[in-house]
Amino acid sequence: MVAAAQNRKKSGIYFSVKLKFVIALIGAILWTAFSIWMAQNWMHDLSNLIGAFAAVFLIYGIAIIPGFMNSFAAISLMMDRRPKRQPLSEYPGITILIAAYNEAACIQDTLVSISLQHYPADLQVIVINDGSKDETADLVRQAEAKYPWLTLLDLKQNAGKANALNQGLKLARHDLIITVDADSYLHRIALVNIVERYKLDPPNTRAVAGKILVRNSRENLLTKTQEWDYFLGISATKRMQSLYQGTLVAQGAFSIYDRDALIEVGGWPECVGEDIVLTWALLNAGYRVGHCEDACLFTNAPTSLKVFVKQRQRWVRGMMEAFIQHPAILVKPRLSTFFIYWNLFFPWLDLAFTLGFVPGLVLACFGYYWIVGIMTLVLLPMAFLLGLLNYSIECRMFKDMNLKVRKNFSGFLVYVLAYSFLLQPASVLGYMDEIFKTRKTWGTK
């Protein structure tokens, strides 16, 4: 509260969160109205070719609704002036849970990154070996002799990540629980930053998501492309949702939770998207979920197209599971509910892109601009504005953290020009998996 008051005094003007929401919503509506007016001829011509319903489905799914989302996000981020973190007079003890299955290649690096944190309070780290077939358990046992804060919970049979985390939770000594993926590397002040953000956020906060960045971006073109997705797309989404009091995913890779709140909602649920469903359970219980943009963890992104598609299918299924398990969240009178409804449009957008934009692009190559043409470009400038704004915000954060934005030009070009051709069809496959109830597997994080 003190920091917020200081920020108001410095700026000379203060917009409440609700006022920022209203301003962003009005701006997005005005942009959408302009887009609809501009698209009248496009709508008329396409309706004559494929019918009015199909034309509305494609034009709104390809341009109008994404334009609304991009303009709302851009206006919101331009108004985002969150209070700076402040050092705490006393830091609480924390328990870190690391669920590990066949992580012998990277678990040692993860533990080293924790040892370099120098967290100024009691630290408990529990590695839950979830029936690994490799040397994961042996390596953690060796590390126990080196790190007094480390404990191994060795589960003999693989039962899934949710079960592993729930078993680890039973051994937690502290009220604040942090989850970290076993193939990750924490920035040297990540723990201090995420704890400070959690303690200084509004009092009804029960979870804060950390910042996830790609560690293995130099491996191939796919990981280079994902580096930009994490750096620009995912980070901006979480930052915007946090501004309006409800980050929708406190990802299992790196987030902090209140132990009592975890127990209240039943811990991690047994499903594919356990972190998404858990976050929605906290939101449904009336709690706030935040985001700490400068608590950085570097993770290994999928290195093959097959694994990448499986990952995004799992994320989509997790969202659908969250809707199925927590339908009452749709009637919660709070700002974050807006983004719950926002997610309802994603199947429409993904289908319109996959079934309309992709074939339309092929037709455009042969001179038929019925779906993809000049109007498509005219209606999407907000995407470029949002990208530029995100880049500026993230560069400032990197500078404050003494990090450098890598000159990854090839990955950036693929991210801008071709990434959606992987991402959105993969999402469509995820919807099909959930509709037809195919076998649920973890696959990758």
440 pLDDT tier (thresholds 50, 70, 90) = low
In a domain, 404, yes or no: no
Q: Which of 159-168, 396-405, 436-445 has the highest mean pLDDT?
A: 159-168
Backbone dihedral angles phi then psi of residue 285, each to the nearest 5 degrees: -80, -5
Let me know if residue 65 belongs to a domain. Answer: yes
Q: Is 54 domain-assigned?
A: yes
The predicted model gives 284-299 an average pLDDT of: 94
Average the pLDDT over 300-323 and give the result. Answer: 93
Handedness of CA 38, 41, 43, 46 (dihedral sign): negative
Total domain count, the chain: 1
Residue 292 has pLDDT above 70, yes or no: yes
Does the residue 352 lie in any domain? Answer: no
Tell me whether residue 223 is in a domain. Answer: no
pLDDT at site 139 = 97
Please tell me the pTM assigned to this model: 0.90
* pLDDT tens for each residue of 119-155: 999 999 999 999 999 999 999 999 999 999 999 999 9
Specify the pairing of strand 254-258 against strand 288-299.
unpaired
Kindly state whether residue 411 falls inside one of the protein's structural domains.
Answer: no
pLDDT, tens only, 66-77: 989 999 999 999
Please tell me the predicted confidence (pLDDT) of residue 6.
Answer: 46
- Express as a percent the part of the chain with pLDDT over 70: 93
- The stretch 314-341 carries a mean pLDDT of 91
- Domain membership flag for residue 335: no
**Is residue 228 over pLDDT 70?**
yes
Check pLDDT > 70 for residue 189: yes
Q: How far is CA 323 from the centre of its chain?
A: 17
The domain containing residue 46 runs over which residues?
A: 2-78
Tell me if 113 is assigned to some domain: no
Q: In DSSP terms, which residues pair with 130 in a beta bridge?
A: 155
What's the chain's Rg over C-alpha atoms?
Answer: 22
Mean pLDDT of the chain: 90
